[in-house]
């Protein structure tokens, strides 16, 4: 019976709920629409079927597990248990279409050496796709999404300036065990003039115009016992990867914004200031967080960003 029919009926002939408001307002007591009623019964049937298939009702200190099962591999043995999202995930990680394809590629890359990976187009396209995601999750917070780093904070991975070395072995070691970079501040060792002299010397190595007398004095500090800078940066200022001491002669700057400086004097002041304060930077170790295959792929990815040696 549709509402259209009811409206055409004489109100006195339709059954009402018996409520009367304001003397003449009444409420029809019609049966529920049939489609609604059947829909309601269907939900009840659905619920009962659901209870039988999936975990549902609590009973004491346990619950009904349902008849649906999931089979996955645990510790080399096949294991079948009642349906639940954790077992579903275990199965998905083992036999899901994309998980399997991904694992095959991971195994392929893990079995190759770096030389092969970097030259094999198929491996490299997988490395780029996978490592881009890993890089975004684990590395981009410091090194930024494209790997260009933050001047003054975190190293650029796209140029060939490497504090800890840019060969695949060195990059892998960096990822594996992390790095703790430390340059002491010289505020107590060198006075203001000396700091300016060291700065002038370092800038002169990169062909910036500086006062030659200052630079000469700076060289004596750098290579002598007053500063002792050579102990980490080497006598020729080309750095020592084992100390994480950067090359100071290639005009590539990570922690001091030398290229962004607007004048010669500002440039010198920035470098001198940095030497006065020193710096400490930490790269976390990833050996416990990422598998060897993932570290391998990140290594190949970082190496291929442009600066690999």
Partner 1 sequence: MKHESVETNAGLLIILTLAVISVGGLVEIVPLFYIDDTIEEVDGVRPYTPLEQRGRDIFLREGCYACHSQMVRPFRDEMLRYGHYSLAAESQYDHPFQWGSKRTGPDLARVGGKYSNEWQVQHMIDPQSLVPESIMPGYPWLAETPLNYSDIDRRMIALKRVGVPYSLTEEEYEANVEKFGEEHARMFDIRNAEDSLVQQAQTENFDGNPGTITEMDALVAYLQVLGTMVDFSEYDDGHFAEFR
Q: Is 234 in the site for partner 1 (CB under 8 A)?
A: no
User: What would the two tokens of residue 63 be?
Assistant: 């619950």
- 159 lines the binding site for partner 1 (CB under 8 A): no
The 3-state DSSP class for residue 79 equals: strand
From candidates 92, 120, 173, 226, binder to partner 1 by CB under 8 A: 92
Q: Return the bridge partners of 205, or none.
A: none
Q: Is 142 in the site for partner 1 (CB under 8 A)?
A: yes
Site map (CB under 8 A) of partner 1, residues 289-308, x = contact: x-------------------
Query: Which residue of 126, 127, 135, 138 would you call a contact of partner 1, by CB under 8 A?
Result: 138
3 state SS of 251: coil
Q: In the range 27-86, which residues lie near partner 1 by CB under 8 A? A: 55, 58, 60-63, 72-75, 79, 81, 84-86
What are phi and psi for residue 19, nearest 5 degrees?
-75, 140
Taking the complex as a whole, the smallest distance from the CB of residue 194 to partner 1 amounts, in Å, to: 27
Minimal distance, residue 104 CB to partner 1, in Å:
16
Q: How far is the CB of 193 from partner 1 (least distance, A)?
A: 29
CA distance 280 to 253: 16
Q: Give the interface segment with partner 1, choosing from 117-125, 190-198, 259-267, 279-287 (CB under 8 A).
A: 279-287
**Shortest separation between residue 3's beta carbon and partner 1, angstroms:** 22
Is 176 one of the binding residues for partner 1 (CB under 8 A)? no
Q: Please give the Cα distance from 227 to 183 (Å, whole number).
A: 12
Nearer to partner 1, 96 or 165 (CB): 96
- 154 near 140, Cβ under 8 Å? no
Backbone angles phi, psi at 58, to 5 degrees: -70, 135
Q: What is the dihedral of CA 259, 263, 267, 268, to 10 degrees?
A: 150
At which residue do the structure tokens 């002792």 appear? Answer: 228
Q: Give the residue with the Cβ less far from partner 1, 48 or 88.
A: 88
Site size toward partner 1, by CB under 8 A: 44
90 lies in the binding site for partner 1 (CB under 8 A): yes
d(CA 144, CA 135) in angstroms, rounded, equals: 9
Q: Give me the least distance between CB of 137 and partner 1, in Å please.
A: 6
CA distances 158 to 71, 223, 261, 305, Å, are 46, 30, 21, 5
Mark 107-136 with x for binding to partner 1 (rule: CB under 8 A) and - for no binding: --------------------------x---
Q: Would you say 276 and 241 are in contact if contact means Cβ atoms under 8 Å apart? A: no
Q: Can you state the angle between helices 168-177 and 292-304, rounded to 10 degrees?
A: 130
Residues binding partner 1 (CB under 8 A)? 17-19, 55, 58, 60-63, 72-75, 79, 81, 84-90, 92-94, 96, 98-99, 133, 137-138, 140-142, 144, 150, 153-154, 280-284, 289
């Amino acid at each position: 019976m549709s509402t259209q029919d009811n409206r055409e009926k004489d109100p006195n002939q339709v059954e009402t709920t018996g409520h009367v408001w304001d003397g003449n307002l009444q409420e029809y007591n019609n049966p529920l629409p049939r489609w609604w009623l059947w829909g309601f019964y269907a939900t009840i049937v659905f619920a009962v079927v659901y209870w039988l298939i999936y975990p549902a009702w609590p009973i004491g200190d346990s619950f009904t597990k349902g008849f649906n099962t999931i089979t996955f591999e645990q510790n080399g043995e096949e294991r079948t248990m009642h349906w639940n999202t954790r077992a579903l995930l275990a199965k998905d990680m083992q036999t899901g279409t994309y998980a399997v394809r991904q694992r095959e590629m991971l195994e392929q890359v893990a079995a190759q050496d770096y030389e092969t990976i970097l030259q094999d187009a198929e491996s490299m396209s997988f490395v780029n796709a996978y490592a881009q995601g890993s890089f975004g999750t684990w590395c981009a917070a410091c090194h930024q999404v494209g790997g260009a780093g933050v001047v003054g904070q975190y190293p650029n991975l796209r140029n060939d300036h490497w504090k800890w070395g840019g060969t695949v072995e060195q990059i892998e070691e960096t990822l594996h065990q992390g790095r703790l970079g430390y340059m002491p501040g010289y505020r107590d060792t060198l006075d203001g003039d000396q700091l300016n002299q060291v700065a002038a010397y370092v800038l002169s190595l990169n062909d910036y115009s500086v006062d030659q007398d200052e630079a000469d004095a700076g060289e004596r500090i750098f290579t002598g016992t007053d500063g002792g800078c050579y102990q980490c940066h080497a006598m020729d200022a080309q750095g020592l990867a084992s100390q994480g001491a950067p090359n100071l002669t290639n005009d590539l700057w990570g922690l001091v914004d030398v290229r962004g400086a607007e004048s010669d004097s500002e440039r010198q002041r920035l470098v001198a200031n940095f030497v006065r304060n020193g710096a400490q930077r930490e790269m976390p170790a990833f050996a416990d967080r990422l598998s060897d295959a993932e570290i391998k792929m990140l290594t190949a990815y970082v190496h291929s960003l442009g600066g690999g040696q």
